[in-house]
Structures are given as C-alpha cells and as structure tokens.
Amino acid sequence: MASPNGGDDFETSLLSFERLDRASPDLWPEQLPGVAEFAASYKNPIPNSPPKWMAELESEDIEMLKELGSLTTANLMEKVKGLQNLAYQLGLEESREMTRGKFLNILERPKK
C-alpha cells in the first residue's frame, strides 16, 4: 500500500498535459463517412429549385400539405383517426359488395 504522500505523486504522474487538436482527421475521424460532405451540400441548396417529389404535386396537394402542417398534434391525431375509420368503413363496404357479387354469381369465370 502506498504512503499518503506517495499516492499524490502517483496521481500527478498520471496527468497528461498534451493538447489534442480536434481539427485533426486522424484523431477525430468521421463517425459516418460522407456525412460532412452531405451537410455542406445541404447548407447551400440550389435556390428556386423545388425537390423532385414536389414537382409532381398539384396546387390542391400543396394546399393539403400546408393544412396538415398547420394542425396541432391533437388535431392531426384526430385527422388520422378519421382516415382510419374511413378506411375501415370502406373495407366493410367492399366486403359486403364482394359477398353480394359472389351470391349473384357475377364474379365467376365463364366455363369453357
């Protein structure tokens, strides 16, 4: 066991006064290759050029996006629940119509 004075000397000997330069790519490599280049290109987008996915949108679509973007979280959840209910109702209606078509034999393939 070290003496009380010897323990302080040991801890002092462990201290490093080396300064690490964070700009060095060798000491601090990129965690995900290519992210720095992507971030640099993203900061300077080409002005007045909409994204590719927006080129196919019509004015009604853009208005819908703006409307949905302006909703609060609660209102957006309400809208999603309404769409889920509508999808469920359409599924029930389709099921009824398919059953009706089966009973009327309108979905049967003609026999050769």
Q: pLDDT by residue (tens digit) across 2-29?
A: 455 556 788 888 887 777 666 655 555 6
How long, in residues, is the chain? Answer: 112
User: Is the model's pTM score more than 0.85?
Assistant: no
What are the structural domain ranges in the chain? 30-104
Q: Which residues contact 27 (CB under 8 A, 6 or more apart)?
A: 20, 21
Would the pLDDT of 45 be above 60?
no
| pLDDT given at position 44 | 61
Which range has highest mean pLDDT (3-12, 38-47, 67-76)?
Answer: 67-76
Q: Between 96 and 19, where is the model more confident?
A: 96
Structure letter (DSSP) for residue 71: S
Q: Between 5 and 72, where is the model more confident?
A: 72
95 within 8 A of 101, measured Cβ to Cβ:
no
